[in-house]
Amino acid sequence: MTMSDSQKWLILAFTVAIGWLLYLLAPILMPFAFSFGLAYLGDPLVDRLEALHWRSFRLNRTLAVLLVFLGIIFAIATLLIIVLPALENQVSDFIDKLPAYLVWLNKTVIPLLQQYFGRSIRPLQTDQFVGLLKSHWQNGAVTENILRSLSHSGAVLIGWIMNLVLIPVISFYLLRDWDDLIKQIHNLFPRRFSGLVGKLATEADEVLGAFMRGQFYVMLAQGVFYSIGLWLTGLETALLIGMLAGLISFIPYMGVIVGIVSAVLAAILQFQDLMKVIPVLVVFAIGHSLESMWLTPWLVGDKIGLHPVAVIFAVLAGGQLFGFLGVMLALPLASVIMVLVRHIHERYTDSQFYSISQL
């Protein structure tokens, strides 16, 4: 049974209305989107914990969710206690040594550039530049500065507190009732479309799982590898540059490009020797090769099928329309759209309109 034209227009109008509503509600949807992501990432682990049993003892859904939450809290606490102070120390040390780096640039690099290009180059204003940086980054006062800036706006501070409170609460209820929610959503669709909806939902779940879970592990693995590799080369900002390259690696080639440029500049300033750049390039060459030949095929697979240009467009379009929320949802939404596009393409190639050679 096919849909009438009025039903198709009704579905189109409903879709447009939902999109417009999401656009209007974007400022308050951040905790819900973040909680949905946590619930989606944690649901397979909760299901596995539910399936475990020892003799007659078996975890119920609530206890399994609590165990997963404890693991998430432990991971976040480890990040706050170990990683963030180390990042802050690296940035502070870099700013403290920046005047010496700039003096070396003025005395060594700029004269070489002037000789090579045959034109005068204005020296860097070291005192003004370093003073501007230090005014915004005092030793060990990053967290204090953030809190001070937030306190100037009561609405912003309340919003942050509400998000911190809402995210774990919403995530807990989504995780606990995840399977029931999926069944209820599936039951809302007309029965004549249940087979098609089930097929598309299964494929979309595979694509989303491959992206959200797989890409998260790829980003984490790359961040750890780059940080350790750069640390072995002696780079003082290894953790900062390595984690930055890993976090933005979900955009094709962006992570390795930003990482190489940042690491090469940091190595030149720190070592003042071009030969020290070679180990840095080797680290990123190995890391990128591992990501493309092993990590991505193993953890993500080829289910997403998004072209790099489409990925970049999706991220930029999401950020333009919905801000940071759009950046978070751009690639998962684009992956689901790709599932629908593939289905439409299959229907199109199987149609008489496509197969008939002449009218």
Question: What DSSP character marks residue 28?
Answer: G
Kindly tell me if the per-residue pLDDT of 338 is higher than 50. Answer: yes
Tokens describing residue 342: 């593939």
Cα–Cα distance for residue pair 103/246, rounded to 1 Å: 31
CA distance 260 to 251: 15
At residue 328, what is the residue type?
M
* Residue 284 scores a pLDDT above 90: yes
Q: What is the DSSP string of 102-113?
A: HHHIIIIIHHHH
Check if the beta carbon of residue 230 is closer than 8 Å to that of residue 242: yes
pLDDT, mean of residues 165-194: 78
Cα dist from 56 to 53, 59, 63, 328, whole Å: 7, 10, 16, 42
If DSSP codes are grouped into helix, strand and coil, which group holds residue 127? helix
Query: What are the tokens at 37?
Result: 């992501």
Rounded mean pLDDT, 292-297? 79
Q: 1 falls in which pLDDT band (50, 70, 90)? A: very low
Nearest C-alpha neighbor of 23 from the set 342, 320, 348: 320
Q: What is the DSSP letter of 237?
A: T
**Each residue's pLDDT tens digit, 75-133:** 878 877 888 788 878 877 877 787 777 778 777 777 777 777 766 667 666 665 556 55
Pick the range with the lowest mean pLDDT from 2-6, 13-17, 293-297.
2-6
Cα separation, 290 vs 274, in Å, equals 25
Weakest mean pLDDT among 8-17, 155-164, 217-226: 155-164
- Name the one residue in this structure whose structure tokens are 């004549």: 192
